[in-house]
Amino acid sequence: MGSSSAHWHLSARVSPLRRVLRHAEALGRLARPVNLLLITATSLSAQLLLWSKTERYYPPWTEWSWMLLSTLLIAAGGYWLNDLYDQLIDRINRPTRAMWVARAGQRFLLTATSAAWLLGVIIALNLPLRILILHIGAILVLAWYARFGKRTGLLGNAAVATLTGMVPWEVILLSERTTYATAWMVPLAIGFNFVRELVKDAEDLPGDQTYGVRSLPGRISTSAWSRLLYALWIALIGLALMPAGLYYVVWDKLPIPFITAILPTTILPLLWGLSEWGDYRFMSLTLKFAMVGGLIALWTF
């Protein structure tokens, strides 16, 4: 009896810790660590580009670090809230993600989202007003998207894509400086993420249709959707090459280093995506590789 009683007390002491660890693991997995890493890489690249290409400029590393932390908290909260609203849909589209939502619990995810956003705003209070307004606006957009935006089709996709463009833009706003390469990070981020949002809609079509979410791939015919996505994919290739074209027009000089870098790092993954047309998960992956490649290529300017 004494041994059984001791075992019961030990289990009672361990159980809360296990619960905390389970919740922490769920939050980590649902926060999209790869996406958060891409946000960090984009912001850091923008800051380092400004530093390396601007004379007599020393980055405000402390303010930038707080700004990045606020951005990551807001992004993570957006992912958690989106997964909370998508739990039923993800049981069809992404069963593993739905499982982690169930393990975390709806109330815990909502509390975690609120805490992350509140902390993000508190941190942003120490930053310039324009950054604070930007971050509050991002929270409002993410809350709207999770609850209503994904059902609006292109409007929701455009809103999320625009938020990704804010990552390098807020670095420009904080530093009050820009360079040719840094400025190009904004439209490239928006363009690539807009197409990626559409590809994800096509990937999620089975669950979306089951629960009445009418994204663009479900609203138009299969042939019209394929033509539209193909046109946008080709437009991405043009967008990736546009920094070279504009550079040549303005300075009458062909940026050979950029072209040499962009072809294998961005154009090749995009062409690879074309070769596996219809495999939306693979196409989404090639878009991520292409985005990282674009960041690398911009360093050649």
Q: For the residues of 104-155, what is the DSSP string, one character each?
A: H-HHHHHHHHHHHHHHHHHHHTTS-HHHHHHHHHHHHHHHHHHHTGGGGTHH
Q: What is the CATH number of the domain that holds 110?
A: 1.10.357.140
pLDDT score of 98 more than 60:
yes
pLDDT score of 42 more than 90:
yes
* Mean pLDDT, rounded, for 234-252: 96
Note the pLDDT of residue 2. Answer: 46
Instruction: Tell me which residue range forms the domain holding 122.
Output: 14-179
* Mean pLDDT, rounded, for 273-277: 91
pLDDT band with cut points at 50, 70 and 90 for residue 56: confident
* Mean pLDDT, rounded, for 88-114: 92
CB contact at 8 A, 87 and 102: yes
> Which tops the pLDDT comparison, 16 or 246?
246
Mean pLDDT of the chain: 91
Note the pLDDT of residue 16. Answer: 76
Q: What is the largest CA-CA distance in the chain?
A: 89
180-203 and 280-298 are packed helices; what angle lies between their axes, rounded to 10 degrees? 180
pLDDT band with cut points at 50, 70 and 90 for residue 35: very high
pLDDT band with cut points at 50, 70 and 90 for residue 194: very high
pLDDT band with cut points at 50, 70 and 90 for residue 11: very low
Domain membership of residue 200 (yes or no) is: no
Note the pLDDT of residue 13. Answer: 55
Domain membership of residue 249 (yes or no) is: no
pLDDT score of 53 more than 90:
no
* Mean pLDDT, rounded, for 145-156: 87
- Percent share of the chain, pLDDT over 90: 76
Note the pLDDT of residue 198. Answer: 94
Note the pLDDT of residue 219. Answer: 86
pLDDT score of 8 more than 60:
no
* Mean pLDDT, rounded, for 66-94: 95
Alpha-carbon span 243 to 262, nearest angstrom:
10
CB contact at 8 A, 75 and 35: yes
* Mean pLDDT, rounded, for 249-263: 96
pLDDT score of 12 more than 80:
no
Domain membership of residue 38 (yes or no) is: yes
Domain membership of residue 205 (yes or no) is: no
Note the pLDDT of residue 3. Answer: 46
- 10 Å CB burial of residue 206 (0-12, 13-18, 19+) is exposed
Q: How many domains does the chain have?
A: 1
CB contact at 8 A, 127 and 67: yes
Domain membership of residue 189 (yes or no) is: no
